[in-house]
Structure formats: C-alpha cells, structure tokens
C-alpha cells in the first residue's frame, strides 16, 4: 500500500512539473505585434516566438515606410516571465545588433529595445489571438 501511494505521488508530481514547464513555454509561444515611434519613424513588428525550455527561437518581421524585413531571433532565453533575445538589422550596409530584454505580463511583453549604440526604446508587444 505504501509503495502504491509513493508511486502515485511520484507520478502526480512529475505530471505537475511537466505542466508547469509547458505553461512557461506557452507563455511566449506564438505571434506578438508591436508598433512604436523611433528615430527613423513609425515601426511595426511581428515577433514569432517558439520556446523549448529556456531556449527561445523565431523571427521578427518589421515594416517601416512600406518596406518589410525579416530577421532571425538569436540568443533567445526565457526564465519564468523574463525574456531576452537579439536580432540583426542591416542598416546602410552595416549589421547592427538589436538587443531586447523584457517581461511577459499577461498578453503583453514589456520590452526594452537597444539598437546598437544608436538608440534605446521601451516598447510593448501584444499577443496576437488567432481566431478559430
């Protein structure tokens, strides 16, 4: 009887831990929209994230003055509700690293965006809810 109870407790604990890990991953998975004013004008972004444990991958699609650009999300990390990642932008034939750090709060990610040594902004990305 004791061994059955111990086995059941172990199984339930394992399931609970697995659900918590999946919930953290799902916290960022999917598409997020951001619109913000910058030194170069109005920018629109769609971030697509995929978390695997603490690793975050995906892509960032930006639009400015009707021009779209897609870049890979690199160095992505998710710890609880804290996220960080980089993207590389090509500006006047130079590769510029853009660093992001932020926090997931419900259906928003409050991000600090640092564009090389040129500019810094606080932006908010909002979860895109897919219609079924």
Answer for the pair 76, 54: CB distance below 8 angstroms, yes or no.
no
- pLDDT value at residue 64: 82
Q: Read off the pLDDT of residues 55-80 as tens digits, 9 standing for 90 and up.
A: 999 999 999 888 899 999 999 999 99
Query: pTM for the whole thing?
Result: 0.78
- pLDDT value at residue 131: 80
> What are the residue ranges in the chain where pLDDT is below 70?
1-26
Looking at CATH, the fold of the domain delimited by 2-127 is given as: Lipocalin (2.40.128)
In 3D, which of 32, 28, 72 has the Cα closest to residue 50? Answer: 28
**Beta strand pairing call for 55-64 and 41-52:** antiparallel
- pLDDT value at residue 34: 98
């Amino acid at each position: 009887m004791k061994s059955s109870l111990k086995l059941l407790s172990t199984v339930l604990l394992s399931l609970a831990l697995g659900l918590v890990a999946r919930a953290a991953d799902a916290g960022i998975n999917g598409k997020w929209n951001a619109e913000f004013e910058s030194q170069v004008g109005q920018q629109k972004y769609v971030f697509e994230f995929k978390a695997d444990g603490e690793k975050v991958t995906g892509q960032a699609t930006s639009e400015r003055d009707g021009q779209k650009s897609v870049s890979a999300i690199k160095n992505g990390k998710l710890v609880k509700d804290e996220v960080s990642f980089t993207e590389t932008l090509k500006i006047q034939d130079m590769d510029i690293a853009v660093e992001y750090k932020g926090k997931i709060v419900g259906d928003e990610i409050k991000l600090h965006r640092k564009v090389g040594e040129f500019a810094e902004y606080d932006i908010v990305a909002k979860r895109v809810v897919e219609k079924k």
